[in-house]
């Protein structure tokens, strides 16, 4: 029996490892460190702004701003919970004809799923951007060190967000390829495949549900990535 070649193990965040597991190609390990890659993403204007934020005199802080309390933690948890619910709730997701019991109806193509993914990406970007700005406003007042941290975060968001959005915009295309592979496997006749009949990805009714779960897993992993700056700012507020 000919065995398929084993793919290299991908190291990195869950989001990257999950995407790599759903693609049909080997993903090479990164040869550059994070600091080296960041240095390529920051142009000279961003580098100057970052240097100013790190070395310059932070803005004056006021004493009339109330200290942050559990309200910030609760708001971040509420927003994140709302996004998780939007991702995992089946009500808003396209469903196949076979799942609805209509044998003659057409199953949804990938367009419906792509639109759903893009809508959730916009929601995540908007929500995390608002939380990040709100937390920076809190950080800008308790002390000079916290004000400097808030300024650095603002510069990093301005510098890295365009690159981040460009990279994340490629995810729907990768999922589209995964959708097509599962669809073709699910439509094969018994003579076309020797995969076990118990595999949901190779049954007429099961492959679409497999894809939906995979897509939800990718979205949840992307949500974790987008919330990392928010979690960092929250951690800073806890230590002030």
pLDDT, tens digit, for every residue of 205-232? 688 999 999 999 999 999 999 999 999 9
Find the mean pLDDT for residues 135-141: 87
Residues 6+ apart with CB under 8 A from 122: none
pLDDT, tens digit, for every residue of 46-86? 666 666 766 666 555 555 444 446 889 999 999 999 999 99
CA separation for the pair 25, 214 (Å, rounded): 17
C-alpha distances in Å from residue 17, one per residue of 43, 87, 97, 232: 29, 20, 32, 22
CA separation for the pair 172, 178 (Å, rounded): 10
Residues 6+ apart with CB under 8 A from 221: 13, 14, 15, 18
Q: What pLDDT is attached to residue 28? A: 61
pTM: predicted TM-score of the whole model, two decimal places: 0.78
Any idea which of 11-20, 122-131, 189-198 has the lowest mean pLDDT?
189-198
Residues 6+ apart with CB under 8 A from 53: 148, 151, 152, 154, 155
Max mean pLDDT range (90-104, 124-138, 176-190): 124-138
pLDDT tops 70 at residue 111: yes
Q: What pLDDT is attached to residue 124? A: 97
Query: Mean pLDDT for the chain?
Result: 78
Residues 6+ apart with CB under 8 A from 75: 131, 134
Q: What pLDDT is attached to residue 5? A: 43
Find the mean pLDDT for residues 87-103: 65
Q: Within 10 A of 56 (CB to CB), how many other CB atoms are there?
A: 11
pLDDT, tens digit, for every residue of 12-52? 678 888 998 888 666 566 666 666 666 677 765 766 666 67
The domain spans of the chain are 112-240
Q: What pLDDT is attached to residue 50? A: 66
> What backbone torsions phi and psi does residue 66 show, to the nearest 5 degrees?
-65, 145
CA separation for the pair 169, 175 (Å, rounded): 11
């Amino acid at each position: 029996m000919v065995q398929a070649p084993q793919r290299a193990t991908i190291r990195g965040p869950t989001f990257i490892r999950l995407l790599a597991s759903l693609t049909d190609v080997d993903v090479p390990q990164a040869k550059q460190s994070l600091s080296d890659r960041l240095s390529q993403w920051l142009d000279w204007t961003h580098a100057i702004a970052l240097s100013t934020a790190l070395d310059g005199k932070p803005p004056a802080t006021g004493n009339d701003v109330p200290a942050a309390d559990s309200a910030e933690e609760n708001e971040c948890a509420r927003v994140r919970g709302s996004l998780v619910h939007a991702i995992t709730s089946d009500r808003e997701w396209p469903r196949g004809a076979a799942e609805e019991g209509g044998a003659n109806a057409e199953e949804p193509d990938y367009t419906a799923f792509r639109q759903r993914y893009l809508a959730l990406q916009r929601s995540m970007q908007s929500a995390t951007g608002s939380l990040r700005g709100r937390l920076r406003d809190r950080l800008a007042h308790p002390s000079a060190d916290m004000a400097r941290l808030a300024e650095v975060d603002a510069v990093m968001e301005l510098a890295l967000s365009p690159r981040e959005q460009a990279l994340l915009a490629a995810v729907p295309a990768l999922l589209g390829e995964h959708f097509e592979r599962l669809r073709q496997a699910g439509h094969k006749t018994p003579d076309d495949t020797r995969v076990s009949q118990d595999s949901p990805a190779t049954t007429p009714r099961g492959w679409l549900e497999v894809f939906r779960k995979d897509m939800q897993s990718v979205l949840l992993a992307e949500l974790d990535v987008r919330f990392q700056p928010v979690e960092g700012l929250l951690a800073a507020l806890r230590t002030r």
